[in-house]
Amino acid sequence: MYYHPEESFKRSELDKLQTERLRAVVENAKKSPFYGSLLKDFDVSELNTAKDITKLPFTTKDDLRSQYPYGLLTRPLDDFVRLHASSGTTGSPTAILYTQNDIDLWAALMARSMYAAGIRRSDVLQNTSGYGLFTGGLGIHYGSERLGCLTVPAGAGNTRRQIKLIRDFNVTVLHIIPSFALYFAQKVAEEGFDPAEMPWKIALIGAEPHTEETRQRIEELMHIKAYNSYGLTEMNGPGVAFECTEQSGMHVWEDAYIAEIIDPATGEHVPEGEIGELVMTTLTREGMPIIRYRTRDLTRFIPGQCACGREHRRIDRIAGRVDDMFIVKGVNIYPMQIEQVLMSMPEVGQNYVIELIREGFMDQIRVKVEVKEDYFVEDMRVLQKLQKSIASRLCNEVLVTPRVELVMHDSIPKTAGKAIRVVDLRDKEEEG
Ligand code: ADP
Ligand code: ZN
């Protein structure tokens, strides 16, 4: 059972709809100062199928920054009712403006995504995202209300109050950032509650890269089903791609977006199933359409059909951001490779941080790893053995032997929003 008729569209119907909508998007986009000049000579008759999208130029984050704040608007400012801005994880933020129609369509996409993850109007949803400019607040909130759920706008932080609300109002669904979920599970236990006894059933986790190992950990610690939720402010926010109850990749809502995966170096499409940079086009946003936006997020299309019957293509969990990659001793490393190893080890606690340091003239990685309380024993030999075992497993994965520093559980500072996984200390003074 689906929430929206277009979810049941077959491939051919989706292709046809995308082609029509793409033409309309280009026509509409030309009304904005930015695309008006960029696409001045582009004739939409060149778009015979949605695949012809490759004839159009990319839009980059720098374009959005240079057009800040109004360069991409297709209509007068009076028609807009809302503004959001990206979190600014990788630099100065960009702003997106929405008309009333855009807000309504986004809420419907969000409601559909939640429904696909098994959420119904009888559910009570607590949103632990920060409200404000971040789309994870109001975006999730409007979707949840649209679906008809009682919605608790708890906002970020204040773990005790979160727990109280969950218990008092029988919250069945949590929207929670994965790094906060790990921390939260631990806090619930510390407050003397058994996570298995909490009323929750479903967690929507997203907003930051995380591994399958992390998802499993969240599910085990919280006794919950965790569904991956992908979105970005430039494409409205959450509700761009979402896991259905099969938990086998995220369906991109292809009636609302065109997704492409390119080689970031050449801009060409990668072969089906290979990892590359996700490029996204809005098909239904009227006020601020964006064409071929380079998300900087790395993923791949999952080949084949999903058992749920939806033919909207699935993307794999985000392997990381192009900008997250760091190079040590000539090797390219992504934080998620490190997380994968750490989160699969039962001794490892819920938090870690990767520090890039300089030893002499060499770059090196130092991984600070929280150890679970039960394992943080006095016996140095036990800890040394654990340290060695983590270092050797990490070396197998990333081909560089990192320095591993074991720290007490809960000792790495926890940020309120997205976790900061990599800290570059190379230009700071370092011990030799
Ligand atoms: P910022 O890029 O400043 O963090 P946003 O708040 O718009 O801006 O967040 C969107 C970004 O968050 C995405 O481009 C992606 O890097 C990350 N993200 C969102 N959802 C997920 C997810 N489910 N898995 C991994 N990364 C995600
Ligand atoms: Zn599915």
Residue 266 shares a structural domain with residue 352: no
pLDDT for 280: 98
Q: Residue 192's CB: how many other CB atoms inside 10 A?
A: 7
Q: Is 127 left (phi over 0), alpha (psi -120 to 50) or beta?
A: beta
Mutate to test the pocket of ligand 1, among 177, 318, 321, 324 (most ligand atoms within 8 A of CB): 318
Residue 311 shares a structural domain with residue 337: no
User: Rounded to the nearest whole angstrom, what is the distance from the C-alpha of residue 305 to the centroid of ligand 2?
Assistant: 8
Q: For residues 401 and 170, what is the distance between their CA atoms, to the nearest angstrom? A: 47
Question: Of all protein residues, whose CA lies closest to atom 12 belonging to ligand 1?
Answer: 207
For 182-229, write each residue's pLDDT tens digit.
Answer: 999 999 999 999 999 999 999 999 999 999 999 999 999 999 999 999
pLDDT for 429: 58
Quote the domain boundaries for residue 281: 1-322
Residue 316 shares a structural domain with residue 345: no
User: Rounded to the nearest whole angstrom, what is the distance from the C-alpha of residue 61 to the centroid of ligand 1?
Assistant: 13
Residue 38 shares a structural domain with residue 172: yes
Q: For residues 11 and 23, what is the distance between their CA atoms, to the nearest angstrom? A: 18
Task: Determine how β-strand 348-359 pairs with β-strand 422-424.
Answer: parallel
Question: Of all protein residues, whose CA lies closest to atom 13 belonging to ligand 1?
Answer: 232
Q: Is the pLDDT of residue 403 over 80?
A: yes
**What is the number of the ligand closest to the CA of 93?**
1
59 lines ligand 1 (CB under 6 A): no
Residue 189 shares a structural domain with residue 297: yes
User: Rounded to the nearest whole angstrom, what is the distance from the C-alpha of residue 246 to the centroid of ligand 2?
Assistant: 6
Position in ligand 1 atom list of the atom nearest CA 228:
23
Confidence of residue 1 (pLDDT cuts 50, 70, 90): confident
Residue 303 shares a structural domain with residue 341: no
Residue 411 shares a structural domain with residue 301: no
Residue 306 shares a structural domain with residue 374: no
Residue 362 shares a structural domain with residue 410: yes
86 lines ligand 1 (CB under 6 A): yes
Give, for 278, the enclosing helix (H) or strand (E). strand 276-282
152-164 mean pLDDT: 96
Residue 67 shares a structural domain with residue 149: yes
Q: Is the pLDDT of residue 432 over 50?
A: no
**What is the number of the ligand closest to the CA of 116?**
2
For the domain that residue 384 is a member of, what is the CATH number? Answer: 3.30.300.30
Q: Is the pLDDT of residue 416 over 80?
A: no
Residue 108 shares a structural domain with residue 24: yes
pLDDT for 415: 79
For 294-330, write each residue's pLDDT tens digit.
Answer: 999 999 999 999 999 999 999 999 999 998 999 999 9
Q: Which of 296, 322, 348 is the last residue of a domain?
A: 322
User: Rounded to the nearest whole angstrom, what is the distance from the C-alpha of residue 320 to the centroid of ligand 1?
Assistant: 10
Q: Which of 307, 322, 337 is the last residue of a domain?
A: 322
Q: Which of 280, 297, 322 is the last residue of a domain?
A: 322
229 lines ligand 1 (CB under 6 A): yes
Residue 217 shares a structural domain with residue 121: yes
Report the chain's mean pLDDT, rounded to a whole number.
Answer: 95
Domain count along the chain: 2
129 lines ligand 1 (CB under 6 A): no
211 lines ligand 1 (CB under 6 A): no
Taking Cα atoms as reference points, which of 234, 235, 318 lies closest to residue 62?
234
**What is the number of the ligand closest to the CA of 247?**
2
User: Rounded to the nearest whole angstrom, what is the distance from the C-alpha of residue 383 to the centroid of ligand 1?
Assistant: 35
267-275 mean pLDDT: 97
Helix, strand, or coil (residue 147): helix
320 lines ligand 1 (CB under 6 A): no
For the domain that residue 27 is a member of, what is the CATH number? Answer: 3.40.50.12780
